[in-house]
Amino acid sequence: MKAIRIYLLGLLFIQGYCFSQNIDSLESIYSKYYETALLANSPDGRYVVLNHSNTYGKDDFELFDVKMDKGTKLEKHLKFQFLTGNLLLMQNDDHCRILNLKTGQHHQEDGRYIFTIAKKSEQLILYSSSTKELLSMDYDGKILWKRHDISSYQFDDKNDRLIYNSGKLLSVRNLKTQQVKTFNHQNDVQWLSYSEKKIYCAEIKATKIELCTVNLMTDQLTRMTINSPQGFEFTANLNSYLEIREDSHLLLPLFAKSKLSDKKDPELQISYSNRNDHEKTLNHHMGIYNLKEEKWDYQPDAKQKLPVYRFLNDKGDFIVFDQSNDVVEEQQNVVLDLNLTLDYGKSSYLLPKKRINDGNYLWDRSTEQLIYFDDKRWMCHHITDREDHELLPLDIEGWENPDNNGLTYSPEVNPIKIKGRSAIMLSNQFDYFLIDLKYHQVKRMTKGQDQQTRYMLQLSKDHFPRSSWNVKFAEIDLGKEMTFKLFNTTTYDTGFATYLYKKNKINFYRHGHYKDILPYKNGSLLISYFALEPFKLTKVEKGQYRIVYESMKTEKKDFGNAKYKLFQYKTSYGIANAALLYPSDYSEQKKYPMIVNIYEQKSRDLLLFMPPFLTTTIGFNYMHYLMNGYIILLPDLQYETGKIKDSIITSLEKSIDTARSIASVDEKNVGVLGLSFGGYETGLALTNSNYFKTGVAGVMVSDLVSLSLSYSEFDSMPNYRRTENQQIRMRDMLFENWNGYLENSPIYHMKNIRIPVLVWTGSKDRNVNPFQSKMFFLGMKRLQKKAVFLEYLNETHNILLPSNQLDLNVKTWQWFDHYLKNRTPAEWIRPITQ
């Protein structure tokens, strides 16, 4: 490796040598570097499974023994999961394998299976959808039973039983005793479900459902026919939405017959300015059938074109609204009338003009309060007296999501429900608060704001409801320990803390660059990585910290003097962060060209470790430039609503001025580069600042007027949603601020450009229309300014074909090398220099 370092440095310093002439040699060096990911860890903390990969074909798997400090190579598999401390399950497309780590022996079951682990009975359930084979094997690999022709199955982990259907037979198997009960339902089953005491299966036809119910207490099977409501049909294509609640109500997805029979002209699409563009989309309605009374408790409204249903608990309370009432479609979190429906349809309440996105509202059944988010504050609405009032003290701020200057109109974090209590947890941009909804008392649980430290509660999938109908609110038990991830928004240090509510006790882990915490029986494993800092694994037991694994321990020495500095700069818009990265050969006695890479919150690229390589999807890898004599600046730019150009230029230039005062920057050789929204920012920089010698703009937005009055192929929505309320942040519509749209469009300032520009796009980009980049290039051409346009004919918003990735990365590098280092231009650049 020392020889490689000498070779690399030699390439760097030989006068007149051009890297672009020796790509193969450079890539052979870069192939030594890689990223490491932890895929699985044993419950006792002794073993971890690691993957080491890069874009040059490296894809190695390693079993690392933390206790013995020893690694063993593993065969490549798609999934790894520990069954016990010494048994490792590995899955591929063609087999499942159980490896005994003590003996080194393994048992393999060939076939394309999906697996489920039955922890209580220590069994592995395997199912092949192609062969319809279902089997169970113990952890030693012994097959306990096997059945064929299984059309569907469900695993009840709570009761350790397996429910499966074969032909017209329904079976329930106790996995501990292997006792089986079989029932003949005489139907073709498309849906299977269970509760604590009952098993359900159904044959679904357009006009009726044949439902069979098995009572496990009496072993009786009953049948019921459910006819579809008038004007609607059942569907077997949305089985995940069929759901039994409280053994009494069946939730059913339904299609409106009017939409099913709607004949469309394949040669014509008709749109109306007073209609939602998606109102003819085939979406499902919902009906609720009362199984005990054998009647519909809730039938869908055929007048609703795009109904949306959101259950607010595991009972029968839900919100419904008609998204087709959003005619203009200018907001991503639109205001509509909501209908609060209780007890499966027994009563309902109109809630006028509320934000519709999940997280903007929550229902507390016990106190009959709707908690909702409005105008940056949390409010509560009592449905009995119809009164609204503030939920939290006015001196607590920061509840809104700051993205897009708050134009998402949504909370920073979704509410968290408290198990067994009329209480919720809410978070602002730093801390968590416990709110008692019965007495409206507030308790602050964390104290991060004074230290500029953000607390983030760590949640798993077990905290969220399984139902496809439910709003995805997490629910926690205050009797159990909580884990918070801590992030200092100034230093980017991260750490973890555990919290016991009953004892009001919080324990902090050491701060560093920790990304994940993996608890085990007697301690924890901490995963860390950062810019210029490859993967590390730290073991924590009894307050003692020990690094047990370091990735690229030798190879990272090649980074030489490369380092980073996170700093703050101040403008009239406030204080913002920026990251400065120094090249591997950095010396204060020299001046270095600098590339400014821009996008929103770009300094947070420091949070990831990136090895150098030349096949990124965006054409730029800052590590490559650090190893080739460039300083890199990653500023967080500032955005004033409606005046984004001025704030971008002011903050961009101030961040550059600050960087110049910190590092040895060659002020005459500064370039700017950005992709997508960063390409838009680059366009503004090139047309409104004289700080740069050249720039590279990828898949850019150049004209807000044409963008605003176009459709996005990406989500089939009007693009004025993006200009008004998303990254562009204009807020006002084009017709209320015409001059503002012109002022904030790069294309209307193109006469100011005095430097050469490289523009690139993918001709099949469905996110930003390639015409935006072409328009900018044509402006350069018409004004007879120097520009090169790269159009990748079969690429999209990101470059995906490896050969094109290499081409774009190399061309971007060659471009900067020529204009910022005065290197001989590559052959493709020469025409623009003549």
Q: For residues 564 and 548, is the Cβ–Cβ distance under 8 A?
A: no
Q: Please, what is the angle between helix 644-662 and helix 677-688, to 10°?
A: 80
SS3 227: strand
Determine what percent of the chain is predicted with pLDDT higher than 90.
Answer: 91
Residue corresponding to tokens 């198990």: 419
β-bridge pairing 347-355 and 335-342: antiparallel
Residue corresponding to tokens 């910190």: 662
What pLDDT was estimated at residue 19?
Answer: 43
C-alpha dihedral sign at 443, 447, 449, 450: positive
Q: Is the pTM of this model over 0.75?
A: yes
- Residues, the chain: 834
Query: What's the pLDDT tens digit per position in 397-422?
Result: 899 999 999 999 999 999 999 999 99
- pLDDT of 12 over the 80 cut: no
Give bridge partners of residue 582 from the DSSP assignment. 563
Contacts 24+ apart (CB under 8 A), 158-167: 158/196, 159/196, 160/118, 160/120, 160/121, 162/118, 162/125, 162/134, 162/136, 163/192, 163/194, 163/199, 164/134, 164/192, 165/189, 165/192, 165/201
What pLDDT was estimated at residue 3?
Answer: 35
What pLDDT was estimated at residue 14?
Answer: 34
SS3 485: strand
Q: Which CATH homologous superfamily contains domain 555-833?
A: Alpha/Beta hydrolase fold, catalytic domain (3.40.50.1820)
What pLDDT was estimated at residue 589?
Answer: 95
User: 577 falls in which pLDDT band (50, 70, 90)?
Assistant: very high
Burial of 487 (0-12, 13-18, 19+ CB in 10 A): buried
Which has more confidence, 294 or 392? 294
Tokens standing for residue 561: 């003097």
- pLDDT of 10 over the 80 cut: no
In what order do the strands lie in the sheet containing 441-444? Answer: 441-444, 432-436, 423-427, 416-418, 475-476
Average pLDDT over residues 161-178: 95
Query: What's the pLDDT tens digit per position in 214-260?
Result: 999 999 999 999 999 999 999 989 999 999 999 999 999 999 999 98
Q: How far apart are CA 104 and CA 81, in angstroms?
A: 16
Give bridge partners of residue 815 from the DSSP assignment. none
Q: For residues 216 and 173, is the Cβ–Cβ distance under 8 A?
A: no
- pLDDT of 82 over the 80 cut: yes
Query: What's the pLDDT tens digit per position in 491-502?
Result: 999 999 999 999
Burial of 475 (0-12, 13-18, 19+ CB in 10 A): middle
SS3 618: coil
Q: How far apart are CA 371 and CA 382, in angstroms?
A: 9
List C-alpha distances in Å: 321 to 324, 341, 372.
9, 11, 15
Gyration radius from the chain CA atoms: 30
- pLDDT of 537 over the 80 cut: yes
- pLDDT of 643 over the 80 cut: yes
Residue 143 CA from chain centroid, whole number:
39
- pLDDT of 763 over the 70 cut: yes
- pLDDT of 166 over the 90 cut: yes
User: 385 falls in which pLDDT band (50, 70, 90)?
Assistant: confident
Q: Where are the domains of the chain?
A: 185-261+282-298, 555-833
User: 16 falls in which pLDDT band (50, 70, 90)?
Assistant: very low
β-bridge pairing 475-476 and 416-418: parallel
Average model confidence (pLDDT) across the chain: 94
SS3 222: strand
Q: How far apart are CA 641 and CA 405, in angstroms?
A: 7
Q: For residues 506 and 497, is the Cβ–Cβ distance under 8 A?
A: yes
- pLDDT of 67 over the 60 cut: yes
User: 263 falls in which pLDDT band (50, 70, 90)?
Assistant: confident
- pLDDT of 20 over the 60 cut: no
Write the DSSP assignment of 246-299 as a string of letters.
TTTEEEEEEEEHHHHT----TT-----TTS-TTTTS---EEEEEETTTTEEEE-
User: 560 falls in which pLDDT band (50, 70, 90)?
Assistant: confident
User: 7 falls in which pLDDT band (50, 70, 90)?
Assistant: very low
Q: How far apart are CA 684 and CA 172, in angstroms?
A: 66
- pLDDT of 786 over the 60 cut: yes
What pLDDT was estimated at residue 6?
Answer: 39
Determine what percent of the chain is predicted with pLDDT higher than 70.
Answer: 97
Q: For residues 214 and 193, is the Cβ–Cβ distance under 8 A?
A: no
Query: What's the pLDDT tens digit per position in 456-467?
Result: 999 999 999 999
Q: For residues 746 and 680, is the Cβ–Cβ distance under 8 A?
A: yes
Q: How far apart are CA 40 and CA 433, in angstroms?
A: 33
Tokens standing for residue 321: 């609204």
Residue 356 CA from chain centroid, whole number:
21
Q: For residues 337 and 348, is the Cβ–Cβ distance under 8 A?
A: no
- pLDDT of 11 over the 60 cut: no
What pLDDT was estimated at residue 261?
Answer: 86
